[in-house]
């Protein structure tokens, strides 16, 4: 299986300059989701919080648009909060919010989704995700569980597919194992690992600074690249003999990385288990989609080329290690510098 999959990385490497490397330069997760939170504090009044990532596409600007019957009461306050910018203000609304439209302009250009959280004074809470294809949220009369599931599924799915570092790690796992059964077991172990720490981090049970976590994630990818560069028939390392154990251990680490995006937007207070499960399932759906595309790409190229060129390329076993290792080294150096600048210590 590993020998058959290695050519996939060689094919993907040809696209790295236009797809993977731009993401690497932006830190692997270029655009975190924005947050628009509206909390009613009384009849006709509400507090608004607009949280956007400090790292945005040059020239792009997202602007929230509240219903026409809601007017700002005073100037907005602005402050920095980690890697985000937070603006807060109050509004007076002459009509109820249910049945009204809340939208955000500039989502497509900004390449960042927007999580909308609306808490009404009577206790009703609504959560949704606005995207470039669906930038308007019409406030319903009642919150539905299906809306929470859809929103957080979509958020998890897009998060994993825009995380080049996590995808490169999964690709490394695919190349490391030798059988289909081992592949299933290894990917499953990675899933279990990151699901555990994602849940613990988001629920506030465990807290680790994001800067050292991101650096350690890059280090985990580099270790996989080093293992791929070894001749598998010379020395059967623990990583080769028990790849699922390595995947589980590194999955625990990657889970803290996944938690970063979810912590930025939070979970609906009345639907925490459902939203957390949906976000996890969205990540897994994106991960499986990536694996399926990689396998399909290999099958397509092999069928078109008769397999002869791919067989020749597959003998260059270290090609995959160099591609993954180069990206991992870039991320590790970049993130280590950030750790030193922020003064965060690696635990």
171 and 294 in a single domain? The answer is yes
266 and 184 in a single domain? The answer is yes
71 burial (CB, 10 Å; 0-12 / 13-18 / 19+) is: exposed
Whether the CB-CB separation of 243 and 186 falls below 8 Å is answered with yes
106 and 20 in a single domain? The answer is no
Residue 157: inside a domain, yes or no?
no
As a three-state string, the secondary structure of 143-194 is CCHHHHHHHHHHHHHHHHHCCHHHHHHHHHHHHHCCCHHHHHHHHHHHHHHH
Between strands 114-119 and 34-42, the pairing is: parallel
Tens of pLDDT along 192-210? 999 999 989 888 888 888 8
336 and 187 in a single domain? The answer is yes
Tens of pLDDT along 87-115? 999 999 999 898 899 999 988 888 778 88
Q: How confident is the model at residue 301 (pLDDT cuts 50, 70, 90)?
A: low
**Neighbour count for residue 145 (Cβ, 10 Å):** 12
197 and 117 in a single domain? The answer is no
Domain count, the chain: 2
Query: Among the three residues 145, 174, 189, which one is the final residue of a domain in this structure?
Result: 145
81 and 127 in a single domain? The answer is yes
Residue 151: inside a domain, yes or no?
no
234 burial (CB, 10 Å; 0-12 / 13-18 / 19+) is: exposed
The mean predicted confidence, pLDDT, of the chain is: 79
140 and 223 in a single domain? The answer is no
Residue 205: inside a domain, yes or no?
yes
62 and 93 in a single domain? The answer is yes
Percent above pLDDT 70 for the chain: 78
Q: pTM here?
A: 0.68
Residue 152: inside a domain, yes or no?
no
Does 24 have pLDDT greater than 70?
no
Range of the domain at 71: 34-145
91 and 220 in a single domain? The answer is no
Q: How confident is the model at residue 30 (pLDDT cuts 50, 70, 90)?
A: very low
Q: What is the DSSP letter of 205?
A: S
Tens of pLDDT along 111-142? 778 888 888 887 677 888 888 888 899 988 77
176 and 234 in a single domain? The answer is yes
Query: Among the three residues 90, 116, 145, which one is the final residue of a domain in this structure?
Result: 145
141 and 209 in a single domain? The answer is no
């Amino acid at each position: 299986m590993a020998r058959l999959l290695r050519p996939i990385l060689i094919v993907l490497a040809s696209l790295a300059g236009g797809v993977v490397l731009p993401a690497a330069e932006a830190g692997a997760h270029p655009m975190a989701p924005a947050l628009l939170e509206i909390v009613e504090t009384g009849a006709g009044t509400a507090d608004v919080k607009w949280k956007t990532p400090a790292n945005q596409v040059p020239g792009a600007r997202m602007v929230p648009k509240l219903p026409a019957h809601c007017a700002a009461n005073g100037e907005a306050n602005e402050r920095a909060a980690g890697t985000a910018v937070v603006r807060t203000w109050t509004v007076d609304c002459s009509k109820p919010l249910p049945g009204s439209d809340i939208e955000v302009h500039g989502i497509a250009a900004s390449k960042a989704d927007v999580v909308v959280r609306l808490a009404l004074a009577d206790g009703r809470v609504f959560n949704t995700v606005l995207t470039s294809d669906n930038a308007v949220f019409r406030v319903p009369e009642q919150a539905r569980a299906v809306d929470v599931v859809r929103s957080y599924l979509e958020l998890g799915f897009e998060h994993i597919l825009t995380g080049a570092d996590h995808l490169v790690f999964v690709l490394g796992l695919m190349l490391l194992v030798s059988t289909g059964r081992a592949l299933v077991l290894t990917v499953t172990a990675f899933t279990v690992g990151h699901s555990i720490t994602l849940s613990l981090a988001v629920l506030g049970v465990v807290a680790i600074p994001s800067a050292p976590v991101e650096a350690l994630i890059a280090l985990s990818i580099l270790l996989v690249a080093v293992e791929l560069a070894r001749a598998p028939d010379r020395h059967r390392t623990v990583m080769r003999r028990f790849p699922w154990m390595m995947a589980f251990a590194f999955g625990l680490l990657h889970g803290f990385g996944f938690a970063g995006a979810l912590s930025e937007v939070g979970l609906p207070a009345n639907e925490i288990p459902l939203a957390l499960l949906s976000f996890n399932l969205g990540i897994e759906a994106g991960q499986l989609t990536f694996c399926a595309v990689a396998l399909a790409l290999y099958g397509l190229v092999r069928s078109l080329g008769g397999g002869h060129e791919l067989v020749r390329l597959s003998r260059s076993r270290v090609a995959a290690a160099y591609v993954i290792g180069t990206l991992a080294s870039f991320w590790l150096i970049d993130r280590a510098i950030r750790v030193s600048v922020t003064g965060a210590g690696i635990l």
